[in-house]
Amino acid sequence: MAWWLWLLVQLVVWCCAGLVALLWWKWANKPHIDAPGPPTLPIIGNILDFLEMPLTLHKIFDLHRQYGDLTRLYVGPMLLVTVAHPDDVQHVLLTSKLIDRGTLCTNAMRAFVGDGLVTIDVSRWKVHRKLINPTFHSEMMILRPWMQNKFLLQLTSKGRGVFKFVKIMQDWALKCIAMGSAATEDGPTKTRQRLLEALLKPGNQTAVPLDEVQGELMNLLIAGTETTAVTVSYTLALLALHPEWQDAAHQELKDVFGEGDDYLRAPSLADLGRLRVLESIIKETLRLFPTVPILPRMATGDLWLSGGSGRKVLVPEGTLLLVMPFLTHRLPQFFQDPQQFDPSRFLEDRVGKEHACTYLPFGLGARSCVGSQYSRLQLKVYLSDILKRFRFLPCSQREDLDDSALAFSLNPVKPIRVSCIPVDGCNT
């Protein structure tokens, strides 16, 4: 064997040995918590439990049934704790003022949408939120961290396809910024600004770095379209499976909009405020299928949680806490018949009496959804317009809806299918 080849082999062997030693040291010094969870393997933790993709609601429901409202998981040496009980939700999202989402979660999305409210670190988030908040007037890569690297992603055909789409969004965002800059130069100063107006300054300047303005637009594009489309899909599928509530929604639309030519008119804010049945249907859909299924928070210090048991558990600093709204929303001690689709629980104002943190489809606290009010109005507008024109019959089962994948937004594994029948007298 040539001397240089022998040296190369030795170098590779020692590098591998050093890497294994480092990983073993990290595993031996991993943080610990007195909470139940599935058995772990040295160095890799629970990664093998989540290799089968997509990660579905059923998997998390099974973990919750086995281990309770505080479940311990390890991704390598990193400690993850799922949080379900409203007492702990309140402490994590409100009392403790934790706002850091952790790089394990945000890096996965940053590769596609850049830097924006959803993905940026705490220091920059405060600046962005302050600028953006007034403009609104009111596959799980987390468990495969090696797939958060752009270079590795581009080696796969799926990754290359995604980045082609990302390039289209980036170009669109830059065009919007150029158009907004020109309008800022020519237009008068406004007391109430749109999103882009809040981020741009006269003289072709930006309130935050240009790549972050671009990231905010891409964040908005994804968050404002993906989440709405998903919720509309679940709502229509549930109404198809529950014709009594579809009948109630159609009757309410007739009561509010009348009949004849005026029935298809665009709704006013007053009209939307009167659609209480439709609002309760949307709320119940978001209870069962919250669009954002995981709210991550990094523990920047030690904190105590209980899992609703009354026994305090010390969560060490550096733990990634995963608040799971879809678990909280289905706790039987707070929601009677929690698996049942029953919008009357909101129509009769029965939710939130027991605990203020039982319902959190848009999150809670400082990093709650900045566009929640807009989203609620948007959903009412879309659904009222659709239901005026069509009646829906089921082609999917409820089991198909529960078989949904956990990612940045909740998505059914199988396509949601319904049959659309034009409403009598509507030819559109």
DSSP 40: -
DSSP for 305-349 reads: E-TTSS--EEEPTT-EEEE-HHHHTT-TTTSSSTTS--THHHHTT
Boundaries of domain holding 195: 23-422
Residues 305-314: tens digit of each pLDDT:
987 777 899 9
Instruction: Say which residues have a Cβ less than 8 Å from residue 168's Cβ, sequence separation at least 6.
Output: none
Q: Does residue 137 lie in a domain region?
A: yes
Within 10 Å of residue 232's Cβ, how many Cβ atoms?
18
Q: Does residue 15 lie in a domain region?
A: no
Tokens, residue 126: 């405060």
- Spatial distance between the Cα atoms of 27 and 195, rounded to a whole number of angstroms: 45
Q: Which residue has the higher pLDDT, 177 or 191?
A: 177
Q: Does residue 10 lie in a domain region?
A: no
Measured at the CA of 173, the angle between CA 192 and CA 102, to 5 degrees, comes to 85
Residue 249 pLDDT > 90, yes or no?
A: yes
351 pLDDT tier (thresholds 50, 70, 90): low
Q: What is the mean pLDDT of residues 196-203?
A: 65
Q: Does residue 9 lie in a domain region?
A: no
Q: Which residue has the higher pLDDT, 137 or 378?
A: 378
Residues 270-306: tens digit of each pLDDT:
999 999 999 999 999 999 999 888 888 888 889 999 8
428 pLDDT tier (thresholds 50, 70, 90): very low
Q: Does residue 5 lie in a domain region?
A: no
Q: Which residue has the higher pLDDT, 83 or 203?
A: 83
- Spatial distance between the Cα atoms of 325 and 296, rounded to a whole number of angstroms: 11
86 pLDDT tier (thresholds 50, 70, 90): very high
Residue % of the chain over a pLDDT of 70: 70
Q: Which residue has the higher pLDDT, 102 or 21?
A: 21
8 A C-beta contact, residue 93 and residue 356:
no
Q: Does residue 11 lie in a domain region?
A: no
CATH classification of the domain holding 234 = 1.10.630.10
Q: What is the pTM of this model?
A: 0.77
From the list 81, 56, 78, the residue with the least C-alpha distance to 68 is 81
In this prediction, residue 85 carries a pLDDT of 94
- Spatial distance between the Cα atoms of 223 and 246, rounded to a whole number of angstroms: 27
Residues 376-406: tens digit of each pLDDT:
888 999 999 999 999 999 998 999 999 998 8
245-249, 325-329, 347-351: the lowest-pLDDT one: 347-351
3 pLDDT tier (thresholds 50, 70, 90): confident
- Domain count along the chain: 1
Within 10 Å of residue 129's Cβ, how many Cβ atoms?
15
8 A C-beta contact, residue 212 and residue 115:
yes
Residues 92-126: tens digit of each pLDDT:
988 777 766 666 665 555 555 555 555 555 555 45
8 A C-beta contact, residue 93 and residue 364:
yes
Instruction: Say which residues have a Cβ less than 8 Å from residue 327's Cβ, sequence separation at least 6.
Output: 60, 61, 64, 69, 82, 84
Q: Does residue 355 lie in a domain region?
A: yes
User: Is 50 strand, coil or helix?
Assistant: helix
Q: What is the mean pLDDT of residues 205-224?
A: 67
Residue 182 pLDDT > 80, yes or no?
A: no
Q: What is the mean pLDDT of residues 136-144?
A: 52
- Spatial distance between the Cα atoms of 214 and 90, rounded to a whole number of angstroms: 33
Q: 3-state SS of 123-183?
A: HHHHHHHHHHHHHHCCCCHHHCHHHHCHHHHHCCHHHHHHHHHHHHHHHHHHHHHHHHHHH
In this prediction, residue 183 carries a pLDDT of 62
Q: What is the mean pLDDT of residues 355-374?
A: 82
In this prediction, residue 325 carries a pLDDT of 94
- pLDDT averaged over the chain? 80
